[in-house]
Structure formats: structure tokens, C-alpha cells
């Protein structure tokens, strides 16, 4: 496959599209903001609309923030659906509602095209390193066609089932990530308040059963106080909303997920919606009146 459309060239989409271009694919690009100049100088074709992208490309990849954005890209005026023809593939790599995804897929398939939901995990770091985990729902034939493309952007690529199942898997992933951030934050806060060096505690735990990618990456962020966003709190809140809405529809209780959402909401209330999601620890610190690695109390530091 040589001609790929890419819509949504922000924090994640920009490096993902760059990897495809470096692999030799010809890109047809569209975004609400300026197109990254390196993609244009590398041969990317700037398109005025999603319809134009779909007309030119064999497959269209979408990477935008939320469900309404995907719906607008697909079915709004000048949207992708208007430019599709039989045999083309639409791939939504955003993280959105599983229920809406199933409806989007039906509409796209009615036009003779295939639809894959293929959300990712790994954040900006994974996007830049082409090491994303990609969870795919949709027809096996379309997955097999797109797998070599996915391999240019990620390492762990799994077709988990039909349309919507990729998004369901991503929601499950976000539950685990949020709860693990909370656990790491509580553990390092406890260690620091007890007088231990949180950096050394983290180092020791990395060699044991408590080791995790969250402890490795976000534990370091907590210790070093680096909360510049790799994945913004407001986006993780969106994903946990999907989890809680889905749980209500299924008659499930997800109590720890609800608590994690409230901790994120506290961060947002303190001006932190654009903080990295590891900054959930800031709310824990305020509750405990102690900052990890600091000698003083939070109230004194502030």
C-alpha cells in the first residue's frame, strides 16, 4: 500500500505520520491546524478536506481527540465518507466510544469500505519511537492489509475482535494505567513522608514484583517533578468517562476507576487539565500535605 491518508497531526499523529512517510508511503494530509512542515517537505500532499483525502488515498487513518471529532471527520460536510469508494479502508486510531465506533463502522461498510478501530497505547514517547501498542477491532481481511502499515508505528499489534473491540480494549488499558498511576503515587508519597528517598525506593522496586512501566516512567516523573504532558489529564478523563459510561450501560460497578477520575478532576480544578496524567500525584500530595522528595509540607511550599 503506497497511498495513505492521515487526518489529525497533533502530538501523536505527527510522529506516526512521519514514520509512514519514512517507510516510503505517500501521504495525503489534512488537519484543522497547520500541516507540519517536515511532512510537506518530505512529499506529503496537503488536502483541503477529509473528502479529498479519501478520494486520493487507499486507506485513511484518523487520529483526533474524541468521539465528536471522529464523527465530524467521517460524516461532517466534506467528510471522509463523501470521498470513499469500494475497497478502501478507514482506520480510526483515536480513543473514542466503543458504541459509537460500531455505528460508524456500519455506515462506512454500507459505502463499500472497511472500517478498523485501532486505538494505541504508549503516548508521545511511543509515537516518536514507533513502539506503540495497537489494539485493533474489525474485519480480518482489512487488518491483514493494514498490519504492515501498523508495524511502522508500533510493536505490539493485536486484532482483538470485531468493530468496537479495539476501543473496548483501549478503555480497559486506560483503567489499568490510571489505577497504576494512583498506586505508584501513593507508594512514593508514603515512602517520602516516612523519610525514605523516593528515587532510591523507586529504583529498588523496579527490581521486584511491583515493577511496571508506570513505575519506571511516571514514577520518575513524580520524583523529578516533570509534568509536561506526554498524555494530558483531560484526555485520560475522557477515556475514564467512556469506562464509567460503559459500566453503567453494562450494570457494572468500577469503584476504583471512579476514584481515579475524581483525583484527575481535582487536578483539573487546580488548573491541571493539561498536566501529564502522572500529575495525579499532585492531588494525593495536597491531600497528604506532603510533596514527594520535598522537606517541607505542601501548604508551606505553596
Q: Residue 24: left if φ>0, alpha if ψ -120 to 50, beta else—which one?
A: left
Residue 208 has pLDDT above 60, yes or no: yes
How far apart are the C-alpha atoms of 269 and 266, rounded to whole Å?
5
pLDDT of residue 90: 98
pLDDT at 302: 47
For residue 295, name the pLDDT band (cuts at 50, 70, 90).
low
How many Å apart are CA 298 and CA 288, to the nearest integer?
Answer: 8
Pairwise CA distance, residues 277 & 123, whole Å: 11
- pLDDT per residue over 60-74, tens digit each? 999 999 999 999 999
Strand partners, 135: 158
Q: What pLDDT shows up at residue 1?
A: 59
Percent of the chain with pLDDT over 70: 97
Q: What is the mean pLDDT of the chain?
A: 95
Query: What are φ and ψ of residue 293, in 5° steps?
Result: 85, -5
pLDDT bin (cut points 50, 70, 90) of residue 230 is confident
Other beta carbons within 10 Å of 253: 9
* Confidence check: pLDDT of 296 > 70: no
- pLDDT value for 123: 86
Residues annotated as catalytic are 170
pLDDT digits (tens, 9 = 90+) for 78-117: 999 999 999 999 999 999 999 999 999 999 999 999 999 9
**pLDDT above 90 for 297:** no
pLDDT above 50 (res 260): yes
Per-residue pLDDT for 257 more than 80?
Answer: yes
pLDDT at position 7, please?
98
Locus of grid cell 457494572:
252
The 10s digit of each residue's pLDDT in 3-61 is 999 999 999 999 999 999 999 999 999 999 999 999 999 999 999 999 999 999 999 99
**Global pTM?**
0.89
With 60 as the cut, is the pLDDT of residue 194 above it? yes
**What nine digits make up the cell of 45?**
500532499
Q: Please say if the pLDDT value at position 294 is more than 90.
A: no
Which helix H or strand E contains 298, and what residues bound it?
helix 298-301
Amino acid at each position: 500500500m503506497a497511498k495513505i491518508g492521515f487526518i489529525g497531526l497533533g502530538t501523536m499523529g505527527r510522529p506516526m505520520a512521519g514514520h509512514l512517510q519514512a517507510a516510503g508511503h505517500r501521504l495525503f494530509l489534512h488537519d484543522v491546524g497547520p500541516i507540519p512542515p517536515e511532512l510537506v517537505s518530505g512529499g506529503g500532499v496537503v488536502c483541503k478536506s477529509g473528502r479529498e483525502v479519501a478520494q486520493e488515498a487507499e486507506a485513511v487513518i484518523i487520529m483526533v481527540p474524541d468521539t465528536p471529532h471522529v464523527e465530524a471527520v467521517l460524516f461532517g460536510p466534506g467528510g471522509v465518507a463523501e470521498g470513499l469508494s469500494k475497497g478502501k479502508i478507514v482506520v480510526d486510531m483515536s480513543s473514542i466510544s466503543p458504541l459509537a465506533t460500531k455505528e460508524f463502522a456500519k455506515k462506512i461498510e454500507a459505502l463499500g469500505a472497511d472500517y478498523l478501530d485501532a486505538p494505541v497505547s504508549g503516548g508521545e514517547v511511543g509515537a516518536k519511537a514507533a513502539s506503540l501498542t495497537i489494539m485493533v477491532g474489525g474485519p480480518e481481511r482489512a487488518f491483514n492489509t493494514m498490519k504492515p502499515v501498523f508495524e511502522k508505528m508500533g510493536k505490539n499489534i493485536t486484532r482483538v475482535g470485531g468493530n468496537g473491540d479495539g476501543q473496548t480494549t483501549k478503555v480497559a488499558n486506560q483503567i489499568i494505567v490510571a489505577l497504576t498511576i494512583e498506586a505508584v503515587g501513593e507508594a512514593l508519597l508514603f515512602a517520602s513522608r516516612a523519610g525514605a528517598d523516593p528515587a532510591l525506593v523507586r529504583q529498588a522496586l523496579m527490581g521486584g514484583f511491583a515493577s511496571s512501566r508506570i513505575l519506571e516512567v511516571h514514577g520518575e516523573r513524580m520524583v523529578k517533578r516533570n509534568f509536561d504532558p506526554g498524555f494530558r489529564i483531560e484526555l485520560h478523563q475522557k477515556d475514564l468517562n467512556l469506562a464509567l459510561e460503559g459500566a453503567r450501560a453494562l450494570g457494572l460497578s468500577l469503584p476504583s476507576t471512579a476514584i481515579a477520575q475524581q483525583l484527575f478532576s481535582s487536578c483539573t480544578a487546580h488548573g491541571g487539565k493539561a498536566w501529564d496524567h502522572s500529575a495525579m500525584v499532585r492531588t494525593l500530595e495536597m491531600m497528604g500535605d506532603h510533596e514527594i522528595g520535598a522537606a517541607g509540607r505542601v501548604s508551606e511550599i505553596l
